[in-house]
Amino acid sequence: MLHASLPDPRPSGIRASSLHSIDIQRGSDNSHGGPRTGLPVQAVDLSLFQALRGPRVELAREQNVPAFVILHDSTLLNIAAQRPTSVEALDEAGGIGGSTLARYGQRLVDITREQG
């Protein structure tokens, strides 16, 4: 019987326990009251970001898919930062494909306008 050893896929010098703690820290620190995305959010964008996440969760439940399948947090953060006021401006903001833009674009713009 032959036994082959595969190379360790982890970067050298990092133990499994270190990787685990990095993931936990990145995704679960909610001490500042913001979203748990691991991505930076400006305070002025936070309310719009949260307003965009709500409908995304509803759509994901309706379609029985994870929320990131509808739109990634990074895309929502980009929308919150750029605050597009038209579907065309939303398209130029990037991160949204044609079919997603056609399906959800106007709703995203409406939410952005409502949040001012």
CATH number 1.10.10.10 given to 40-115? no
* Local confidence band at 88 (pLDDT 50, 70, 90 cut-offs): very high
C-alpha distances in angstroms, 53 versus 56, 79, 97? Answer: 5, 11, 18
Using only C-alpha atoms, the chain has a radius of gyration, in whole angstroms, of 19
- Mean of all residue pLDDT scores within the chain: 75
pLDDT tens, 24-64? 233 333 434 444 555 565 666 889 999 999 999 999 999 99
pLDDT tens, 89-106? 999 988 899 999 999 999
Domain ranges in the chain? 40-115
DSSP assignment string, 55-108: HHHHHHHHHTS-HHHH--HHHHHHHHHH--SSHHHHHHH-S--HHHHHHHHHHH
